[in-house]
């Protein structure tokens, strides 16, 4: 399957174009509906505070879905993502104002894994409000 980034054209250290993804309450409600995850900590401020959170937080899986877009935007073909894993280290807090929150994602090629399979490991850095929200965020990506 073609991807627009050629294996031969990247090396360890190659940076992917970074991207910032906005997230507000409306987006969390949409994600809840689309994913079937209706945990009230993702839409009910009263409930979130009762369980000790500062405010409503984004679904960890929403943040995970946004972060990999830096890779799929880079390759063009989302199927280039062979493996993708993250650790949920901090919540993305989403206040009920006009702005919401932002998820800032950057990525770089950490290593070329397999010349035959044309796979590389991409490490992602995922931040919100100045703090890392995902750890060990890594993808194995098959290039053209």
Residue 73 belongs to what H/E stretch? helix 69-75
Of 6-14, 49-57, 108-116, 118-126, the segment contacting other proteins by CB under 8 A is 49-57
Of 6-14, 45-53, 110-118, 121-129, the segment contacting other proteins by CB under 8 A is 45-53
Q: State the nearest-atom distance from the C-beta of 5 to other proteins, in Å.
A: 13
Token pair belonging to 33: 């509906």
Name the residue among 57, 54, 48, 55 with its Cα closest to residue 28. Answer: 57
Residue 27 touches other proteins, criterion: CB under 8 A: yes
Q: State the nearest-atom distance from the C-beta of 31 to other proteins, in Å.
A: 5
Residues 67-126 that bind other proteins (CB under 8 A): 68-69, 72-73, 76-79, 81-92
Length of the chain: 144
Residue 98 vs residues 22, 23, 75, 142: alpha-carbon distances, Å: 11, 11, 32, 39
Neighbours of 30 (CB within 10 A): 11
Residue numbers at the binding site for other proteins (CB under 8 A): 1-2, 21-22, 27, 30-31, 33-37, 39, 41, 51-54, 57-66, 68-69, 72-73, 76-79, 81-92, 136
């Amino acid at each position: 399957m073609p991807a627009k980034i050629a294996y031969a054209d990247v090396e360890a250290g190659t940076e992917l174009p970074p991207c910032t993804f906005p997230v507000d309450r409306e987006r969390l409600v949409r994600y809840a509906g689309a994913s079937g995850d209706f945990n009230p900590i993702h839409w009910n401020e009263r409930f979130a505070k009762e369980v000790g959170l500062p405010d409503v937080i984004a679904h960890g899986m929403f943040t995970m879905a946004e972060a990999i877009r830096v890779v799929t935007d880079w390759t063009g073909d989302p199927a280039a993502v062979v493996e993708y894993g993250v650790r949920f280290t901090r919540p993305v807090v989403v206040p009920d104002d006009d702005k919401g929150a932002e998820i800032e994602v950057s990525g770089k090629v950490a290593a070329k894994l397999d010349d035959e399979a044309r796979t590389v490991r991409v490490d992602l850095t995922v931040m919100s409000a100045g703090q890392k929200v995902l750890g060990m965020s890594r993808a194995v990506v098959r290039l053209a």
